[in-house]
């Protein structure tokens, strides 16, 4: 009896439950009908598919002088306009390429492109031999050739083969012999005759020489910022050091600031020199304790001593 009382439902509650159940069944039935009509009236959905085209590879063959290539030639290599302009500007700034490694220093030049260019570039001609670095190089012809090759599956694979051939007419390049010159009196134009030295480096050389008071040996050129030491070594026979052109510092007349402006002298060293000068009333020497023997040999050519001494140039 107790169990029957637990599951007893009042007539009003029974009516409400039956009504709710009928609403749920009706809603489910109507939803199925609406969904079927929507699917029949809508066009079939197509799944978009994308086929990635095979990357076209650039095949380069031939032999080309890196310092004679113009912008149009570089575009034919696969470089974009911006990178081709950087190539030419960088080449002009360093006075021409000597090796493929310098080309790799161009901003934006990928290692892959450098490796593709390595077997076809030569570095025998100087930049001065090029009649116009910004225009298309004379004596070179560019021919683009497309080859269609069938693969095993029957699909066509398109490859671009770019070949370059030299024309039969060869441009006569002007040759000149470089006369040795004094690095203590030479101007910017003289230094620019050296392959690898452009307007920027020649200006730095002259400015640094003026700060020093002149060069007393050729190896001092290696101290110029940006100047490759191999350029100095390769052209050592073209450089002359005139000892008489070195400008020395007169301690009896120079101020502390003037002496300190020399690139080789530090504040403590100049202070020591002036203290020695005041105590001894004369020119300082190595034994004064202001310099080590190695440093003294470096600065001695620029200090006016009682007995003038000049070091050898080369």
Question: What is the Cα–Cα distance from 61 to 145, expressed in whole angstroms?
Answer: 12
Would you kindly state where each structural domain of the chain is located, as residue ranges? 64-122, 181-245, 256-302
For the chain, list residues with pLDDT below 50: 47-59, 129-175, 287, 307-314
Residue whose C-alpha is closest to residue 108's, from 76, 73, 84, 136: 84
Question: What is the Cα–Cα distance from 291 to 297, expressed in whole angstroms?
Answer: 9
Q: What percent of the chain has pLDDT over 70?
A: 65
For residue 41, the model assigns a pLDDT of: 60
167 burial class (0-12, 13-18, 19+ CB within 10 angstroms)?
exposed
Query: Where does 183-266 have alpha helices with state H?
Result: 188-191, 199-212, 229-234, 256-260
Question: What is the Cα–Cα distance from 120 to 135, expressed in whole angstroms?
Answer: 20
Quick: pLDDT tens for 225-282: 999 999 999 999 999 998 888 898 887 788 888 888 899 888 988 888 888 877 765 5
CATH architecture, range 181-245: Orthogonal Bundle (1.10)
- Concatenating the DSSP letter of every residue in 20-47 gives HHHHHHHHHHHHHHHHHHHHHHSPPPPP
């Amino acid at each position: 009896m107790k169990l029957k009382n637990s599951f007893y439902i009042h007539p009003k509650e029974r009516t409400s439950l039956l009504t709710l159940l009928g609403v749920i069944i009706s809603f489910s039935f109507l939803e199925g009908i609406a969904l079927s009509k929507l699917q029949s009236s809508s066009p079939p959905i197509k799944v978009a598919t994308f086929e990635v085209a095979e990357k076209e590879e650039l095949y380069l063959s031939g032999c080309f002088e890196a310092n004679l290539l113009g912008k149009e030639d570089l575009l034919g290599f696969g470089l974009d306009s911006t990178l081709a302009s950087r190539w030419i500007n960088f080449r002009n700034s360093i006075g021409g390429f000597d090796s493929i490694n310098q080309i790799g220093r161009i901003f934006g030049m990928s290692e892959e492109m450098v490796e593709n260019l390595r077997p076809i570039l030569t570095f025998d001609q100087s930049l001065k031999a090029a009649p116009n670095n910004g225009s298309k190089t004379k004596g070179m012809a560019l021919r683009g050739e497309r080859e269609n090759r069938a693969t095993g599956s029957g699909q066509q694979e398109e490859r671009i083969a770019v070949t370059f051939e030299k024309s039969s007419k060869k441009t006569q390049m002007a040759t000149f012999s470089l006369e040795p010159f004094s690095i203590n009196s030479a101007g910017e134009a003289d230094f620019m005759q050296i392959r690898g030295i452009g307007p920027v480096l020649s200006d730095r050389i002259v400015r640094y020489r003026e700060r020093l008071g002149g060069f007393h040996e050729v190896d001092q050129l290696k101290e110029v910022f940006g100047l490759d030491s191999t350029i100095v070594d390769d052209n050592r026979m073209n450089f002359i050091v005139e000892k008489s052109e070195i400008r020395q510092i007169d301690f009896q007349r120079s101020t502390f600031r003037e002496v300190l402006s020399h690139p080789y002298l530090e504040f403590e060293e100049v202070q020591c020199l002036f203290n020695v000068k005041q105590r001894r009333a004369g020119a300082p020497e190595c034994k004064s304790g202001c310099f080590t023997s190695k440093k003294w040999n470096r600065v001695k050519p620029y200090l006016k001593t009682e007995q003038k001494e000049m070091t050898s140039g080369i």
